Amino acid sequence: MEHSRTDATTPGGLVGGYIRLMDRLSGATAFLAAAFFIAGVVVVCQMVFVRYILGQSTSWQTEFTVFSVTAAMLMGSPYVLMTGGHVAITLLPDAIGGVIGKLMKLIAALVGLGFCAALAYASWIYVAEAWHGEWTTGSVWNPPLWPALLPMAIGITLLTLQYVAEILRGEG
């Protein structure tokens, strides 16, 4: 795993402690995201074997794969932000440079933070509704829906908190 930028650029004190904590959490969720992705790949392979080699039907594999790969994407998003692996169009701020360029990047980071904060809030409400309403997927497998929604809420919440760390780091 690529090392984070906390070594030389992280301030000390409470702000630095927050940035280091978020970087560690983002790194940990990257490993969890990898595990979700691997689980999805293994289940796809199992599904192919069961369907095309054994000639049997499958009932849960497609749904599990969608949930696990989606969880991988969402749980990995804080790490992608931390390492700068996301797509960013910075041609104009980079060309302008100076205070105006930094201000443009900060405004973009604040917009991203606001969007992620709103999505995190809505995600937790959605998970709570699925939990309390005992929602299921409605498929043949029909598992409870809240475990599939939980990685969304956790991933987006951690992405929101990583945005704060990036802004505090001065990367916004």
pLDDT in tens, 1-24: 444 455 556 778 999 999 999 999
Average pLDDT, the chain: 91
Q: Quick count: other Cβ atoms within 10 Å of Cβ 8?
A: 5
Would you state the pLDDT for residue 25?
Answer: 97
Reported as a single tens digit per residue, the pLDDT across 82-108 is: 998 877 777 777 788 888 888 988 998
pTM of the predicted model as reported, rounded to 2 decimal places: 0.86
Regions of the chain with pLDDT less than 70: 1-9, 172
| pLDDT for the residue 55 | 94
3-state per-residue secondary structure call for the chain: CCCCCHHHHCCCHHHHHHHHHHHHHHHHHHHHHHHHHHHHHHHHHHHHHHHHHCCCCCCCHHHHHHHHHHHHHHHHHHHHHHHCCCCCCCHHHHHHCHHHHHHHHHHHHHHHHHHHHHHHHHHHHHHHHHHHCCCECCCCCCCECHHHHHHHHHHHHHHHHHHHHHHHHCCC
Residue type, 13: G
The whole-number pLDDT of residue 3 equals 43
Q: What pLDDT, on the 0 to 100 scale, is given for residue 86?
A: 74
